[in-house]
Structure 1
Amino acid sequence: MGRYRVRVATGAALFSGSHNRVRLRLVGARGAAELELRPRPARGEEEEQVLDAPEDLGPLRFVELRKLHWLLDDAWFCERVAVRGPDGAEAAFPCYRWVRGERALRLPEGTARLAGDSVDVFQQHREQELEERQQTYGWTTWREGLPLTIAADRKEDLPLNLRFHEEKKQDFEWALNVVTLEVALKLVYTFPRPWNRLEDYDQIFWGQKSALTERVHRCWKEDEIFGYQFLNGANPMLLRRATSLPRRLVLPAGTEELQAQLEKELQNGALFEVDFVLLDGIKGNVIHGEQQHLAAPLVLLRMEPGGKLLPMAIQLQPPSSSSPTPALFLPSDPPPAWLLAKCWVRSADFQLHELQYHLMNTHLLGEVIAVATMRCLPGLHPVFKLLAPHIRYNVEINARARSSLISYGGIFDRAGSIGGGGHIELLRRALAQLTYRSLCPPDDLADRGLLGIPNALYAHDALRIWEIIARYVEGIVRLFYQRDDVVQGDPELQAWCWEITEVGLCQAQDRGFPASFQSRDQLCYFLTMCIFTCTAQHSAINQGQLDWHTWIPNSPCSMRMAPPIIKEAVTMDTVMRSLPDIWQTCLQMAGTWLLSRRQPDMVPLGHHKEEYFSGPEPKAVLRRFQTDLEGLEREIVARNKQLDIPYEYMKPSHIENSVTI
């Protein structure tokens, strides 16, 4: 006879428990035994029972769960099952999914196994699991020319295990109600007051704010704050060191002194550029019958010896047949003209930040990784176990965005100058321009000439986080792939890589994405990119919205007048008639809080509670990862105490473990 001590843990989220009975069956190498759990574990609790089997079942292979019900199929969220056998050894069976219906759910013992390394029963299980997963998790084309998405028309159509848990759902819907009420109150409060001075924005500058938001409110006109944002603001992804004067820069007659200054800064390695050419030619939106406008600015900045990044010139439009010499704005111009030129730049930056670097390069890329992982990697695969905590909630938050943010009639259509179809065109261009190197900070920062700049805080922290994630990934990978040929010979891993590059990202191999893995180093680099994108990069791009986008003149979601051509004709009235109106302002302020607020169920990077791996070695690698993150946290905290503007977007305790908002 063999005695087995069985522990079954239920999730702590609302409605995770169930009143249905559960039948549990142990399957070992030498036999099987069954027991019935009465009652089932309640929400957030762990139940332990003892089973006396007629014989020792040998090494346990599977636990089978079958939920029984009469009238109500009361879904149950099972976290894990642990079984201590007659020899005192404990086997873990991770689940972390919903159990519903009366079909048996078979959980394999949690030790990660590669295809071909498994005994026959495990190989059969993984093949059957993938077959079922590929039926459940399908691809679809949401819009031509964009990354593929999961095949679900609405969030309600998503597979249950990709949905928000109840607390997350309730919190998100509560937040939606809050912002809806906020918009209504601000519109009522300002009606029918005139809206013709910058000070009028103060009327609705209340609600959720940060200390940095208040500083932006006070100092947004300053050139130093304008330049700082390209290094460490909400979108630090466009700045690059100039290696020559930009080809599309047109210097009008009489600007020889400026040209000499630019060439001097270029020779000193202190000339930087920000080019918004991706926006060129995209048609502006029409909101409430009023035409909105877009520009494709080119900004030239100089880095002072003390580290300040200051603008030298702004060209708002590329040359065209109708205007072969576009207006060039300078700090010496009349203050309203220079201020309006900077507003145009900040508005262009808002469009690229939200659509290219936030939505495309984190959310949509994260969804491609998530769907490919569910379709190609069985639960036994070590890469599935590594990535599973980092794809939590990504698919549902994207489904919600497609139905209310970037959909027809969504927020971009209602408030943004690039709505009405222009945002889809920009996303198409962004995908065509997306390269593998641009997603990997060591390559991207080198390509942009930003390595070694002391006050480039995003660049510094991104490299440090990348190094720590890379060490973690390498520790896991080397436990299961002893040689390069093991990587090459893993059919599931190779299918996963191909599905991301050639299917989800629409044939991205010509942009540097691998279609197969030939070595452990190549695999580690790709996995580091995946985790960095879904955690640290999203944090860097998402968190700054509240700080930098809440004061609307600093980041206008739309411009209501065409870019100025005659600088001397610009007045403060021109500035106000160009900036967003009350309706657009209210929507932007509410949206930035909704999208960047700290989530109540936030899981910091590396501190997920799910234990997908069994055995001491992977757990030791995770503990080292956590220790490294804690060390970086202390470094950033100490550094920030010395800074005028602390940079906290990549502080490990602020980085969410997946894309959840």
Structure 2
Amino acid sequence: MGRYRVRVATGAALFSGSHNRVRLRLVGARGAAELELRPRPARGEEEEQVLDAPEDLGPLRFVELRKLHWLLDDAWFCERVAVRGPNGAEAAFPCYRWVRGERALRLPEGTARLAGDSLDVFQQHREQELEERQQTYRWATWKEGLPLTIAADRKENLPPNMRFHEEKRLDFEWSLKAGALEMVLKRVYTLLGSWNRLEDYDQIFWGQKSALTERVHRCWKDDELFGYQFLNGANPMLLRRATSLPRRLVLPVGMEELQAQLEKELQNGSLFEADFILLDGIPANVIRGEQQHLAAPLVLLKMEPGGKLLPMAIQIQPPSPSSPTPTLFLPSDPPLVWLLAKSWVRNSDFQLHQLQYHLLNTHLVAEVIAVATMRCLPGLHPIFKLLVPHIRYTMEINTRARTQLISDGGIFDQAVSTGGGGHIELLRRALAQLTYRSLCPPDDLADRGLLGIPSALYAQDALRLWEIIARYVEGIVCLFYQRDDVVRGDPELQAWCREITKVGLCQAQDRGFPISFQTQAQLCHFLTMCIFTCTVQHGAINQGQLEWYAWVPNAPCTMRMPPPTSKDGVTMATVMGSLPDIQQSCLQMTITWHLGRRQPDMVPLGRHKEKYFSGSKAKAVLSQFQRDLENLEVDITARNEQLDLPYEYLKPSHIENSVTI
């Protein structure tokens, strides 16, 4: 006789428990045995039962779970099953999914295995699992010329294991309703006041704030804060060090002194540029019958010895046949003229930040990684175990975005100047510029000339996090791929790589993405990019929305008058007539609060509780990863205490472990 102690853990989320009975079957090398259990309706519980088998079952291979019900199929979220056998050894069977219906769910013993290294029973299981997954996780084309997405027209069509847990769903939907109510209250309140001065925006500037939000409110007109945002604001991805004067810069007659200043900064290596040419020619939205407007500014900035980045000139539009000499705006211009020029830059930055660097470069890329992982890597694969914590909730948040935020009639159409179709054209252009190097900070920051700048806090923190993630990835990879030929010989891994590059990212091999892995180093670099994109990069791009965008004039979502073509006639009425109106401003504040706030069920980077790896060596690698993140947290905290404007977005405790909002 063999005695087995079976521990079954139920998930901690609401409604994870079940009143249904569950039949559990142990399958070993020499036989099988069954017992029946009833998962406790209380969430987060673990129960232990003893099973006396007629004989020792030998090494355990699988646990099979079959839920039985009469009238109500009460879904049960099983976290894991652990079994201690007659010899005292414990086998773990990770699950972390919903058990529904009466079909048996077969969980393999949790040791990670490559294809070909497995026993025949495991090889058959992984092949069957992938066949089923590829039917469940299918690709779809949301818009031609954009990355593929999960095939789900609405959130209800998503695979159940990719859905929000109940707490997340309730919080997400409550916050939308709270935001809608706040919008109504602000609209009612503003009916009693004017809307013709910048101070009138104070009427709607209430709600959740931070010290930085108030700082932006006070100082948004300052050139220093304007320049700072290119380095460490909501979108630190556009700035680059100039290696020559921009070709599209046109210096009008009489600007010889400015040209000399620019050339001097260029020679000193202190000239920087931010070019919004991607917006040139994008059709602008029409909101409630009113034509909105877009521009494609070019900004030239200088880095002072103390690290301050200050604007030197702004060219609002590229040269055109009708205007071969565009107006160049300068800090010495009348204050309202210069403020209006900077507002056009900030509006343009809002568009590229939200669409190119936030939606495309993090959300859509993360979704491609998530779908390809589910389609190509079985649960036994070590790379699946490495990546699966970093794809939590991504498919649902993106599906919600496609049906609420960027859909026909969605938020972008209601309030943003690239809405109404321009946002799709902009995404297509951005995809054409999405290179593999641009997603890897060591390459991207080098290409943009931003290495070694003391005041570039995003760059410093991103590089350190990249290095920490790279060590973590290398530690896991080396446990399973001891030689390069093992990498080359893994068919599941190679299929996953092709699925991302050729299918999900639409033939991205032309932009430097690999279609196969030839070495350990190539694999580690790619996996580091995947995890960094799904965690660190999204944290850097997403978290600043509330603080930098809540004061609407600092980042207007739309502009209601054409960009200025001269410096004459700019009045406060011109500025207020250009900036978003009350309704657009309320909507911007509500959505940026909804998307930028800290999530109640947030899982910090590396702190996931799921135990997909069973081996002690893999667990040791994860523990070292967590210690490295803790050490970085201490360093960033100490640095920030010395700064007038702390940079908090890449503190490891602030970075979510996946794209969930």
TM-score, normalised to structure 1, is 0.99
Please state if 1:10 is matched with 2:10: yes
CA distance in 2, matches of 1:40, 1:207: 41
SS across alignment from 1:568: coil
Please state if 1:50 is matched with 2:11: no
1:115-126 alignment to 2 at 5 Å?
Answer: 115-126=115-126
Say if 1:238 and 1:275, in contact at 8 Å, map to a contact too. Answer: yes
Say if 1:27 and 1:61, in contact at 8 Å, map to a contact too. Answer: yes
Structure-1 residue corresponding to 2:628: 628
Structure-2 residue corresponding to 1:145: 145
Say if 1:62 and 1:106, in contact at 8 Å, map to a contact too. Answer: yes
Say if 1:300 and 1:314, in contact at 8 Å, map to a contact too. Answer: yes
Structure-1 residue corresponding to 2:540: 540
Structure-2 residue corresponding to 1:406: 406
Please state if 1:522 is matched with 2:522: yes
Structure-1 residue corresponding to 2:314: 314
Structure-2 residue corresponding to 1:361: 361
- 1:596-617, CA deviations, whole angstroms, 9 ceiling, x for partnerless residues? 1000011000000000000100
Read off the aligned partner of 1:186 and give its amino acid letter.
Answer: K
SS across alignment from 2:130: helix
1:540-619 alignment to 2 at 5 Å?
Answer: 540-619=540-619
Shift of 1:547: 0.9
Shift of 1:210: 1.1
Shift of 1:298: 0.2
Structure-2 residue corresponding to 1:438: 438
Say if 1:368 and 1:500, in contact at 8 Å, map to a contact too. Answer: yes
Say if 1:20 and 1:40, in contact at 8 Å, map to a contact too. Answer: no
SS across alignment from 1:6: strand
Structure-2 residue corresponding to 1:327: 327
Structure-1 residue corresponding to 2:371: 371
Shift of 1:568: 2.4
SS across alignment from 2:568: helix
- 1:275-302, CA deviations, whole angstroms, 9 ceiling, x for partnerless residues? 0000000111001111100000000000
Say if 1:22 and 1:40, in contact at 8 Å, map to a contact too. Answer: no
Shift of 1:572: 1.7
CA distance in 1, matches of 2:323, 2:581: 29
Structure-1 residue corresponding to 2:128: 128
Structure-2 residue corresponding to 1:276: 276
Structure-1 residue corresponding to 2:474: 474
Shift of 1:42: 3.8
- 1:516-566, CA deviations, whole angstroms, 9 ceiling, x for partnerless residues? 101010000000000000001000000000110010010000000001011
SS across alignment from 1:244: coil
Structure-2 residue corresponding to 1:452: 452
CA distance in 2, matches of 1:541, 1:94: 33
1:66-145 alignment to 2 at 5 Å?
Answer: 66-145=66-145
Shift of 1:209: 1.1
CA distance in 2, matches of 1:17, 1:350: 44
Read off the aligned partner of 2:389 and give its amino acid letter.
Answer: P
1:114-513 alignment to 2 at 5 Å?
Answer: 114-191=114-191, 193-513=193-513
CA distance in 1, matches of 2:512, 2:170: 41
The percent identity for this pair of structures is 84
CA distance in 1, matches of 2:512, 2:336: 44
CA distance in 1, matches of 2:566, 2:279: 22
Shift of 1:238: 0.2
CA distance in 1, matches of 2:40, 2:347: 55
CA distance in 1, matches of 2:628, 2:604: 14
Say if 1:8 and 1:41, in contact at 8 Å, map to a contact too. Answer: no
Say if 2:162 and 2:396, in contact at 8 Å, map to a contact too. Answer: yes
CA distance in 2, matches of 1:38, 1:67: 9
Shift of 1:41: 6.5
- 1:394-441, CA deviations, whole angstroms, 9 ceiling, x for partnerless residues? 110000000110000000000011100001111111111100000000
- 1:316-373, CA deviations, whole angstroms, 9 ceiling, x for partnerless residues? 0011111111110000111111000000000000000011100101111100000000
CA distance in 1, matches of 2:100, 2:490: 32
CA distance in 1, matches of 2:132, 2:288: 48
Shift of 1:39: 5.6
CA distance in 2, matches of 1:252, 1:337: 17
Read off the aligned partner of 2:503 and give its amino acid letter.
Answer: V
CA distance in 1, matches of 2:16, 2:418: 42
Shift of 1:193: 3.1
Read off the aligned partner of 1:136 and give its amino acid letter.
Answer: T
SS across alignment from 2:97: strand
Shift of 1:656: 0.4
SS across alignment from 2:253: coil
Q: Which moved more, 1:591-600 or 1:35-44?
A: 35-44
Read off the aligned partner of 1:497 and give its amino acid letter.
Answer: C
Change (3 A) 1:178 1:40: closer
Shift of 1:194: 2.6
- 1:448-470, CA deviations, whole angstroms, 9 ceiling, x for partnerless residues? 00000001000000000000000
- 1:11-63, CA deviations, whole angstroms, 9 ceiling, x for partnerless residues? 01111011110000001111111111146564210010001111111110000
Shift of 1:573: 1.5
Read off the aligned partner of 1:161 and give its amino acid letter.
Answer: N
SS across alignment from 2:397: helix
RMSD: 0.7
Read off the aligned partner of 1:153 and give its amino acid letter.
Answer: D
- 1:194-238, CA deviations, whole angstroms, 9 ceiling, x for partnerless residues? 311001001111011111010000000000000000000000000
Read off the aligned partner of 2:265 and give its amino acid letter.
Answer: E
SS across alignment from 2:358: helix
Say if 2:10 and 2:39, in contact at 8 Å, map to a contact too. Answer: no
Say if 1:41 and 1:47, in contact at 8 Å, map to a contact too. Answer: no
Shift of 1:192: 5.1
Q: Which moved more, 1:8-17 or 1:29-38?
A: 29-38
Say if 1:9 and 1:44, in contact at 8 Å, map to a contact too. Answer: yes
CA distance in 1, matches of 2:176, 2:204: 18
CA distance in 1, matches of 2:218, 2:520: 51
CA distance in 1, matches of 2:135, 2:199: 57
**Structure 1: runs of 5+ lacking an equivalent:** none
Read off the aligned partner of 1:359 and give its amino acid letter.
Answer: L
SS across alignment from 2:16: coil
CA distance in 2, matches of 1:638, 1:199: 36
Say if 2:18 and 2:38, in contact at 8 Å, map to a contact too. Answer: no
SS across alignment from 1:57: coil
Say if 1:17 and 1:42, in contact at 8 Å, map to a contact too. Answer: yes
**Structure 2: runs of 5+ lacking an equivalent:** none
CA distance in 1, matches of 2:287, 2:323: 27
Shift of 1:649: 0.3
Aligned residue pair count: 661
Say if 1:487 and 1:520, in contact at 8 Å, map to a contact too. Answer: yes
CA distance in 1, matches of 2:43, 2:601: 17
Shift of 1:569: 1.8
SS across alignment from 1:129: helix
SS across alignment from 1:94: strand
SS across alignment from 1:478: helix
SS across alignment from 1:567: coil
CA distance in 1, matches of 2:122, 2:504: 28
